[in-house]
Amino acid sequence: MKVYVVYMGSLPSRPDYTPMSNHLSILQEVTGERSYKRSFNGFAARLTESEREQVAEMEGVVSVFRSKKLQIQTTASWAFMGLKEGKNTKRNLAVESDTIVGVIDTGVWPESESFSGKGFGPPPKKWKGVCSGGKNFTCNNKLIGARDYTGEGTRDSEGHGSHTASTAAGNAVTGTSFFGIGNGTARGGVPAARIAAYKVCTTTGCTTESILSAFDDAIADGVDVISISIGDDNAIPYEKDPIAIGAFHAMAKGILTVNSAGNSGPNPNSVVSVAPWILTVAASTTNREFLTKVVLQNGRTLSGRSVNAFDLKGKNYPLVEGTLGSQAKGKVLVSRYPTISETAVATINVDYKNYASISPRPLSALSQDDFASLLSYVNSTKSPRGTVLKTEAVFNQKSPKVASFSSRGPNTLAVDLLKPDITAPGVEILAAYSPLGSPSLGDQRQVKYSVLSGTSMSCPHVAGVAAYIKTFHPDWSPSLIQSAIMTTAWSMNASETGVASTEFAYGAGHVDPIAALNPGLGYELNKADHIAFLCGLNYTSKTLKLITGEAVTCTGNTLPRNLNYPSMSAKLSGSRSPFTVTFNRTVTNLGTPNSTYNSKIVLNHGSKLSVKISPNVLSMKSVNEKLAFTVTVTGSGLDPKLPSSANLVWSDGTHNVRSPIVIYTSG
């Protein structure tokens, strides 16, 4: 028998309908049943193949799909983005304190200072959730809700959920570090906001039915923003993706879902979060990096990467090249393989990742060039000696760069929808952790704060920004918050040649929290627009119901690229022939009355596109007024290996509302 999710769509509006009675009449003798009945309708059950077929045919059943396991994707960052500490940042504290961030993850460590209720008043009146965290788990006025779908209790035994929750909305905690590394104040984007933790993941993964249950509850509990740093290895069709289904229902209730892009980069087509009603986040670097120096006896210093908290007191040890740790007892092992010797005093190897991660023993990972020069020293010196120093945090002036692991577009499910949407800090992030979690593989140390990298870390940064925007604009829809974040982003320069450093890496650019408060114009979308988008992808009424949970009939044919999205993208079939592509968009005036916006086109990456905007001037008389325009892109001879791109900027002299335009081909 296997676990299946029996999805029955939206809740009927009839007052006499109770989901449970309906579930029981459909399947009286089901073991292991879990019901979803607060925000949408369905249950999970263990079924044989014949039972599955029987249930699928029953009236009221939208779909029966196999439950899968998804994976979690593994603070100077806030200052780096412009949200400075304390009074240096504009805040609307009364509303921030009424803002609730729902985090769907591995749970939370309730005793962490990041989640202390000290100084907080009672939970917001709109809160309808519970604290059912399990044994010895206490909520407070900061951590106001806890739910568990794993049977383990909501306590975080891994660290991932505590890390993401504290990054989004953790308290400002001074003097945090990883054994002195990265010392400073750890805080979330909205430190005065409340947190509700929904535990759906264990060490083996996160099940489909747990994720659907968590969305169901979070929506009904009254959260304002949902942060979910979870995803599959590949993009799943919307109708089978629990995150896409849950987020659709959240969007319909006015809640924005922020999701990680995935950690399968730099391969193209690897982005796993591809629905337009989800804000999809890539991961990039900040202006701080963790460097671990290797000092040779001849006085030469090489700079490597790792988070190495071990202090060898500057003592030199013999350097030995090899692959086996056994020959390195009392020595420093130099190996080009990503190994960490248990017997060596320290290990030096090659940095294949380009970011620092925690090591359970002294380690430095050098660039290919520095490793080659170290080898030459080891092989040409009679008794080569050296040492590995403790890691230092170094601040630099480098522009943010998308991490190699961050999943890239293009979008495989909706080829004319640019994903990811935005990038944010996701490399070497220090945040709260669980003392039960291991800081690295085979690491016995217990820590309250740890350093992690992944789109899992960038996702809660953007969820924190979304919550921050909502504190100033509580009436904005999820699409307006998403539009504000995307159209005010810092533009990113291509760090390398090739598809991995184009808009397919970073979408609209790097999140800018302060600018996002005042975007000027917004691209607004509602549930009907998303349904028209799905109709344009040739979804049948039956498949549409799998996502929306209600009977929908497609009328007319809207091209998916005409979804009123803040970015514009089109995939063309042939690269040689001349083409013309149009995009229809409508903007809403979020700024001041009597505003005039002029359009400007900026071409990127040596692009030869010709772009015309009609009308090319928008005169807004009143706030919330909507005006439509058309973008016509012409060109020929596209590079099959690289997208051609441009930026459309609407400017009134104060606001610059920027949208990427990306045209690409399959060759």
CA 521 centroid distance within chain: 24
Please report, for the chain, how many H helices and E strands are present, in that order: 14, 36
Burial class of 54 by CB neighbour count within 10 A (0 to 12, 13 to 18, 19+): middle
Sign of CA dihedral 319, 322, 325, 328: negative
DSSP 8-state secondary structure symbol assigned to residue 348 = E
Burial class of 215 by CB neighbour count within 10 A (0 to 12, 13 to 18, 19+): buried
Q: What angle do CA 536, 539, 544 make, to 5 degrees?
A: 115
Place of tokens 């335009």: 661
List all residues 6 or more positions away from 274 whose beta carbon is below 8 Å from its beta carbon. 235, 280, 411, 412, 413, 414, 417, 419
Place of tokens 């059943």: 61
Active-site residues, by number, are: 105, 160, 456
Cα separation, 176 vs 173, whole angstroms = 7
Cα separation, 349 vs 339, whole angstroms = 7
Q: Torsion over CA of 405, 409, 413 and 416, rounded to 10 degrees?
A: 160
Q: Are 362 and 343 in contact (CB under 8 A)?
A: no
Q: In sequence order, what are the beta bridge partners of 227?
A: 103, 258
- Return phi, psi of residue 406, to 5°: -65, 130
Cα separation, 198 vs 291, whole angstroms = 35
Q: Are 147 and 104 in contact (CB under 8 A)?
A: no
Which conformational region is residue 660 in: left (phi greater than 0), alpha (psi within -120 to 50 degrees), or beta? beta
The residue type at 370? D
CB-CB neighbours of 207 under 10 Å: 23
Cα separation, 4 vs 47, whole angstroms = 7
List all residues 6 or more positions away from 35 whose beta carbon is below 8 Å from its beta carbon. 19, 20, 23, 42, 43
Cα separation, 323 vs 336, whole angstroms = 8
CA 91 centroid distance within chain: 24
List all residues 6 or more positions away from 4 whose beta carbon is below 8 Å from its beta carbon. 44, 45, 46, 47, 52, 55, 64, 65, 66, 67
The residue type at 231? G
The Cβ-side half-sphere exposure at 262, using a 13 Å CA radius, reads 26
Place of tokens 């006025």: 141
Cα separation, 66 vs 5, whole angstroms = 6
